[in-house]
Amino acid sequence: MLKTRAHRYMLSAGALLTLGLSSCGVSTVTQCNNFSEVVKQGEEFQAEFEAEMESFGQNFAGAGELEGLKNMASGYRDAVGRVVTKIDAMSTDLEALELPDETLAAFRDRYTDVTTQFAQELQNTSEAMGLIQNVESEADLIPAVTKFQEQAMGSFTNLEQLSTQGDTLTTEINTYCTEAAG
């Protein structure tokens, strides 16, 4: 679930923003390009993260022993930690963008808010995965998995909603940049 939808908006953001840039006016072109360059950072780490999540899912499903499950949980947490750090850096770069165009500045603020919330929800899933990583015995595993599911399901749902918000916002930004040329 996380792999297939949760990060799609990051990839589509860079792709959609790039489509309309050649037709924008000079000032808008510069601002849209600057915005797009920062958003493209998400594309750079998205593919890597999705590959890690794919590998994680396959390995987790095949890990039958407690140590194997703990190692997979540790790998998940490491991958999430790396992507959260990159999202945080991208959000900082977004906040630093100088966008005199008030509409683009508002888009930037909304996009920054979505990415910041996205990072927090990923962090929440990582913390929940810590329950599995820290299990000490087979007897503790089922209760830990149950508690993980209880804690993480809300975050997975929120990640889906944030992806939808990101997709919608990306479309709005692309439309604005395209129409600004008209």
CB 3 within 8 A of CB 57: yes
- Indicate the range of 27-41, 95-109, 144-158 predicted with least confidence: 27-41
**What is the amino acid identity at position 54?**
E
The per-residue pLDDT of the chain, averaged, comes to 82
Helix (H) or strand (E) holding 80: helix 66-96
Distance CA 46, CA 13 (A): 12
Q: How many CA atoms lie within 13 A of 103 on its CB side?
A: 11
Residue 36: enclosing H or E segment and its boundaries? helix 26-62
Confidence band, pLDDT 50/70/90 cuts, at residue 182: low
Cα separation, 43 vs 85, in Å, equals 14
**pLDDT over 70 at 114, yes or no:** yes
Ranges of each domain in the chain: 24-174
Per CATH, domain 24-174 is 2.40.128? no
**DSSP for residue 101:** S
pLDDT at 146: 94
Closest of 121, 112, 104 to residue 175, by C-alpha: 104
Span 143-163, mean pLDDT?
92
Task: Please enumerate in sequence order all residues whose Cβ is within 8 A of that of 45, keeping only pairs 6 or more positions apart, or say none.
Answer: 82, 83, 86
- Of 157, 151, 104, 117, the closest CA to residue 131 belongs to 151
pLDDT score for 1: 30
* Angle, CA 106 vertex, CA 102 and CA 110 arms, to 5°: 170
The pLDDT, as a whole number, for residue 62 is 66
- Kindly report, residue by residue over 10-27, the tens digit of the pLDDT: 434 444 444 444 444 448
Q: Which of 8-12, 16-20, 128-132, 175-179 has the highest mean pLDDT?
A: 128-132
pTM for the full predicted model: 0.80
Instruction: List phi, psi (to 5°) of 161.
Output: -65, -40
Residues 29, 20: Cα–Cα separation, whole Å: 9
